[in-house]
Amino acid sequence: MGRKRHGARVLLAVAALVLFEVGGAAGVASAGSRTQAGGSVSAVADVSTHQFTVSIGGQVVRVMPASMGKPGHETPLGTFHVMEKFRDMVMDSSTYGVPVDAPEGYRLYVEYAVRLTSGGIFVHGAPWSVDSQGYENVSHGCINLSTENAAWFFENVEVGDPVTVVG
């Protein structure tokens, strides 16, 4: 918050997505809104070292332990741009065809959710996986951070900022 952005101004068209939200949708860019993209904040999620590194202006400012997708639910590799942000929301496996009561099903309240893909990959707070963060990948594909680290990332990243996932 309060930092200057030096990226080009772009028009973002965000497709409507069906999400179960808790509270308001603060921070969500709606179709036709203007924001600055391509600015100075970027992040790298390293699947093999279990680290999430944030740089501002090309300088590393924070390295955080993380957990990414477990075998069978690998976090996709590549560069993604922040699509939208939710202060809190409910994630539900039935939205992609896995019943909540199935062995791999879930319905979880999460905080500080930052969407990277239309397919449901987010960076978010995951207090249940803190013991694995920095050591092993246990998620269903999302990038799990502690609540404190997810809050920090949420407050510093903007729609359009790049997040690169490497192996």
Q: Which of 50, 81, 140, 142 is catalytic?
A: 142
Residue 114 or 8, more confident: 114
Query: Catalytic annotation on 50?
Result: no
Predicted local confidence at residue 28, as pLDDT: 38
> Span 26-30, mean pLDDT?
36
The first and second tokens of residue 167, run together, are 């192996």
> Span 67-81, mean pLDDT?
96
Q: How confident is the model at residue 14 (pLDDT cuts 50, 70, 90)?
A: very low
The pairing of strands 107-115 and 122-125 is: antiparallel
Q: What does pTM read for this prediction?
A: 0.75
Per-residue pLDDT of 90-126, as tens digits, reads 999 888 888 999 988 899 999 999 999 998 999 999 9
Residue 28 or 95, more confident: 95
- Percent pLDDT > 90 in the chain is 69
Q: Amino acid identity, residue 110?
A: V
Per-residue pLDDT of 40-62, as tens digits, reads 899 999 999 999 999 999 999 99
Domain 41-165 has CATH 2.40.440.10: yes
Predicted local confidence at residue 59, as pLDDT: 94
Q: Which of 6, 50, 124, 140 is catalytic?
A: 124
